[in-house]
């Protein structure tokens, strides 16, 4: 693997894991020293990450991890609702029961192992949740849909940073919602699978916009963990039976 590809992979993992704060000022020199490589591969990696929308280069300021605006988050979720709702619908229609059953059990194991909110492994849940969303497109048997999803996936991953730091309880709620979507797909209930997926992403949108609104109101909170905004837990609860609820 070329040095620039290695630098790209390492930097991307650091960005998405929250290693760098959005107000940190990064530079080629500091990142090269961190990765113990020359500045040339780091420069190429930075260009790639800027194209993906993960980094932003500000003249006379430096390199920063990008934070999505409220408009970008809203638009991202609107696109995801259309795409992932259709992907879930197709998965249920194609009766991908066995594969989805395995994923459901994996999700349920995370919920059972956690037991109480204090013991939830949020990092493991987010990792498996990302796998679940990718699986919807893999099982949809629609390569065009999968290709379009791959274009916005870096921004989806960047968006997840907000929840990991500022809204961990949303991660727990999303886990329960994923399990309900998986069950609908296993039953072959395409309309319910699409409906639950759209509701799940609507909940995710409300959570992220609530977090951003709080950060914009008080920039001092930008890198301090906090729970979700008041009322979010009730609004974003996992869908159960006919109850209406990223």
Q: What is the DSSP string of 68-117?
A: --HHHHHHHHHHHHHHHHHHHHHHHHTT-HHHHHHHHHHHHHHHHHH-SG
The predicted pLDDT at position 116 comes to 55
Q: Where in the chain is the domain with CATH 1.20.120.530?
A: 70-235
Tell me how far CA of residue 62 lies from CA of 27, 28, 42, 52, 78, in angstroms: 6, 9, 14, 18, 32
Predicted local confidence at residue 53, as pLDDT:
85
Number of C-beta neighbours around residue 30 at 10 A:
14
Whole-number pLDDT of residue 232? 32
The pLDDT, as a whole number, for residue 137 is 95
How confident is the model at residue 214, as a pLDDT? 86
CB 134 within 8 A of CB 44: no
Q: Does domain 3-65 have CATH number 1.10.10.10?
A: yes
Q: How far apart are CA 194 and CA 26, in angstroms?
A: 41
Running DSSP on this structure, what letter comes out for residue 64?
Answer: E
pTM of the model: 0.77
- Within the chain, all domains assigned CATH 1.10.10.10 are found at 3-65
**What's residue 218's pLDDT?**
59
According to the model, what pLDDT value does residue 242 have?
47
Predicted confidence at residue 189, as pLDDT, reads 95
Instruction: Please state, in angstroms and rounded to a whole number, the distance separating the CA atoms of residues 86 and 136.
Output: 9
Spatial distance between the Cα atoms of 183 and 179, rounded to a whole number of angstroms:
6
- The stretches in the chain having pLDDT less than 50 are 223-245
CATH number of 70-235: 1.20.120.530
85 and 167 Cβ atoms separated by less than 8 Å: no
**Phi and psi angles of residue 165, each rounded to the nearest 5 degrees, phi first:** -90, -40
Specify which residues 56 forms β-bridges with. 64
Give pLDDT, residue 217.
74
**Number of neighbours of residue 197 by Cβ within 10 angstroms:** 29
pLDDT of amino acid 122: 84
Distance, in Å, from the CA atom of 114 to the CA atom of 118, rounded to the nearest integer, reads 8
CA distance 58 to 48: 16
Residue 146 CB neighbour total at 10 angstroms: 17
pLDDT of residue 105: 95
CB 134 within 8 A of CB 127: no
């Amino acid at each position: 693997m070329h040095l620039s590809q290695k630098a790209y992979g390492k930097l991307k993992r650091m960005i998405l894991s929250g290693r760098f704060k959005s107000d940190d000022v990064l530079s080629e020199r500091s990142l090269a020293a961190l990765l113990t490589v020359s500045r040339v591969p780091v420069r190429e990696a930075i260009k790639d990450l800027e194209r993906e929308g993960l980094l932003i280069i500000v003249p006379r300021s430096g390199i920063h991890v990008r934070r999505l605006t409220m408009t970008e988050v809203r638009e991202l979720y609107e696109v995801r609702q259309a795409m992932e709702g259709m992907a879930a619908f197709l998965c249920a229609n194609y009766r991908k029961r066995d594969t989805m059953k395995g994923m459901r059990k994996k999700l349920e194991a995370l919920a059972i192992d956690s037991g109480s909110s204090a013991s939830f492994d949020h990092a493991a849940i987010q990792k498996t949740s990302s796998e679940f969303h990718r699986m919807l497109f893999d099982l949809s048997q629609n390569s065009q849909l999968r290709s379009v999803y791959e274009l916005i996936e870096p921004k989806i991953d960047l968006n997840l940073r907000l929840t990991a730091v500022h809204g961990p309880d949303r991660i727990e709620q999303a886990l329960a919602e994923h399990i309900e979507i998986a069950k609908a797909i296993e039953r072959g209930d395409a309309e319910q699978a699409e409906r639950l997926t759209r509701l799940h992403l609507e909940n995710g949108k409300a959570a992220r916009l609530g977090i951003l609104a709080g950060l914009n109101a008080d920039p001092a909170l930008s890198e301090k963990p906090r729970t979700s905004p008041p009322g979010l837990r009730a609004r974003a609860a996992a869908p159960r039976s006919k109850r209406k609820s990223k």
